[in-house]
Amino acid sequence: MAATVAHGSLAAPQSPRDLAELADLIVIGTANGITQGEASVTFSLTIDRVLKGAPSLSAGTISVGWPTPPANAAQSAVGSAPAGVGSTGMWFLQESPDGWALLPVVQGNAPFSMTYYPSAPGPILSPYTYSASASLLDIIAAELSSAIEASNGAYVAQFFGLQFGLIDQLNSSYVSLLFTRMSNSTSTAQQIVGLSGLIRGGSSAAFTSAAQSVSTFAAYAKESGILLFSVRDRFRAADAVSVGVLGKAATDPTNSTASFREASAHALAAIHTAATLPYLATLLGDQDANIRVEAIGGIGSFANGLAAQTFANVASLAYLQYPASAPYMTAETRANFVLGAQAVELNEAAYLSYWSQWWSQNRVSLGF
């Protein structure tokens, strides 16, 4: 989430795992009596249950300050929160010399209503009930999963970052349960988010289900963005079934939308295994220029022995490091290796010709 919905200004969702480590107190509670001061916003927080910190604070009220609020922070939490959830939710707090300070779940120029994860008052949904001995990350995962499911597909800005993968960092069975339940929801928006989470986890069955319904899903722009990201940047399952369903989605122009085909082609090209090559070779002749770019990069990456491109190694550019040696790497394969549309467009015809010939010359030795 790069911008707040209401103000179009920069805002960055925070990882709940990181917030859990930083916070001295994590509670489910309701904010009241919000006051704007010169240097902070203060409010009273009535605590329903304590997730981390002194259990004795449960059912009590504490004063909380937001030390460095943006200019629009003084909006009423009740007035600007998502419909039906008021100002109740999960709050992350740090102890300071002046009392409790709020750790906002969205940093930047965001309104007060986006500083916590909203939830409905009362107990969590029964499927997410946890024991007293549960780990903190499981507790947070259970509470968040319940809140997300209870939103019933309504857009909640704070959940958007979670559904793009931040909630995955909790590595909890409650999150897996959430995605499974949502993938079977009667709400199409929740179906998309659920399937997306399962796809990020490597489920070829979830990918197949999404591919079959992607035309219908296109009407849900925000959720479809999560789906495309999950396929393009996170789905890296390299087993035969997963490569097969990716290849089918990428090579069949009648089976999905252009954006889903392009995301599938990128995922296929990022795996860098021999099994992907027949599909990528077919895509060299695709009518979609973006897909041809993926095919050129994918075949070249395999030939030069590059590691699979994952979400983790993109930032470090480790996936671009040539190995000391690779079975098919030569001076020519390195000279014809390019990634991205800008590089390919400089001499696309030559790259298409080279990698088509490379495939013809090497497919038998590769087992095809």
pLDDT bin (cut points 50, 70, 90) of residue 7 is: very low
- The share of the chain scoring above pLDDT 70, in percent, equals 92
Secondary element (H or E) of residue 47: strand 41-52
pLDDT, tens only, 122-141 = 899 999 999 999 999 999 99
User: β-pairing, 106-108 with 88-96?
Assistant: unpaired
Q: With 80 as the cut, is the pLDDT of residue 72 above it?
A: no
Average pLDDT over residues 242-246: 97
The predicted model gives 184-201 an average pLDDT of 96
Say which residue the tokens 């671009």 belong to: 320
CB atoms within 10 A of CB 273: 14
Q: Are 53 and 61 in contact (CB under 8 A)?
A: no
CB atoms closer than 10 angstroms to residue 250: 31
* 299 within 8 A of 359, measured Cβ to Cβ: yes
306: which 2 tokens? Answer: 């590059």
Q: Give the per-residue pLDDT at 81.
A: 42
Listed in order, the ranges of the chain carrying CATH 2.40.50 are: 1-122
pLDDT, tens digit, 9 for 90 and up, residues 257-301: 899 999 999 999 999 999 999 999 999 999 999 999 999 999 999
Structure tokens at 24: 């001295």
pLDDT band at 5 (very low <50, low <70, confident <90, very high): very low
- Separation CA 65–CA 39 (nearest Å): 10
Question: Mind listing the pLDDT tens digit for each residue in 86-115?
Answer: 589 999 999 988 889 999 999 887 888 889
What is the distance between the alpha carbons of residues 300 and 306, in angstroms, rounded to a whole number?
Answer: 9
Q: How many residues does the chain have?
A: 368
Span 288-346, pLDDT tens digits: 999 999 999 999 999 999 999 988 888 778 888 999 999 999 999 999 999 999 999 99
pTM exceeds 0.75: yes
Tokens representing residue 176 in the block? 């897996």
Topology classification of domain 1-122: OB fold (Dihydrolipoamide Acetyltransferase, E2P) (2.40.50)
Longest Cα–Cα distance of the chain, Å, equals 74
